[in-house]
Amino acid sequence: MASIEETKTHNNNNKRTTQGRQKIEIKKLEKKSNKQVTFSKRRSGLFKKAAELSVLCGSEVAVIVFSPNGKLFTFGNPSVDDVVSSYLNNGAVAVPSSSSGNGNSTSNLVNAMIELEEAEKKKKQVVRQATLGSILENNNNINAWLEKPVEEMGYEECDHQLTKLISLRNKISEASSSKDFDVPMTKTTPFCGLGLNF
């Protein structure tokens, strides 16, 4: 440590001190080291922005990022799984509920609009369900979990496996609520290690 008075960066001879932030083009970074550093910084920035949004507006936010090396990073408020669950359930229509009054009391136009709206919801629901089914089907963990393809199960074994799953879920729910993958938002600890304190 030499003279601390020099608030400027070490201007050894006469050369450039930090030229500050430079404008960059938004295109794939080629230099690997640079890409890694940029990823780290911008991921932090993104998570901070997400945290601020969720706090300011009291809205649920989840961010899922895979690094260039394939490592998983997440941010979620209240938790990634909660938000993802809400996302997967979005557009849900609990019961057909096609009852209710006939179309007399309202105009055909209004009814048409309502039907259109519900059709779109239904479409969303179907796509969501298909996605969920795809996830389920493509996840060979489920097969391992069930220890046997569903096709080979009769009623009793199916029932047995389901009971096992439910009890497993209940057992795990505590561990799950300990948020191994998400940093919980508290008022007493730094938020996500990003220097945000609430």
Partner DNA sequence: CTGTCTATCGTTAGCCG
Partner DNA sequence: ACGGCTAACGATAGACA
Q: Which 8-state DSSP code applies to residue 151?
A: G
Q: Which 8-state DSSP code applies to residue 174?
A: H
**Candidates 1-9, 10-18, 32-40, 102-110; binding stretch for a second copy (CB under 8 A):** 32-40
The reply to whether 65 sits near a second copy by the rule CB under 8 A is yes
The reply to whether 194 sits near a second copy by the rule CB under 8 A is no
Residues 153-172 that bind a second copy (CB under 8 A): 153-155, 158-159, 162, 165-166, 168-169, 172
Q: Which of 103, 110, 119, 123 binds a second copy (CB under 8 A)?
A: 123
Q: Which of 121, 125, 184, 194 binds a second copy (CB under 8 A)?
A: 125
In the bound complex, what is the minimum distance in angstroms from residue 84's beta carbon to DNA? 23
Q: For residue 153, what are its two tokens?
A: 């199960």
CB-count exposure of residue 47 (10 Å: 0-12, 13-18, 19+): buried
Residue 149 CA to residue 151 CA, distance in Å, equals 5
CB-count exposure of residue 121 (10 Å: 0-12, 13-18, 19+): middle
Q: For residue 162, what are its two tokens?
A: 């389901």
Residue closer to DNA (CB basis): 30 or 156? 30
- Residue 63's CB is within 10 A of a number of other CB atoms, namely 18
In the bound complex, what is the minimum distance in angstroms from residue 146's beta carbon to DNA? 37
Q: For residue 198, what are its two tokens?
A: 């609430």
Residues 38-57 that bind a second copy (CB under 8 A): 38-39, 42-43, 45-46, 49-50, 52-53, 55-57
In the bound complex, what is the minimum distance in angstroms from residue 14's beta carbon to a second copy? 28
Beta strands in the chain (DSSP E): 61-66, 72-77
Closest by Cα among 137, 139, 141 to 151: 137
Residue 93 CA to residue 25 CA, distance in Å, equals 44
Residue closer to a second copy (CB basis): 36 or 111? 36
In the bound complex, what is the minimum distance in angstroms from residue 115's beta carbon to a second copy? 18
Residue closer to DNA (CB basis): 142 or 196? 196
Q: Which of 17, 106, 107, 131 binds a second copy (CB under 8 A)?
A: 131
In the bound complex, what is the minimum distance in angstroms from residue 118's beta carbon to a second copy? 14
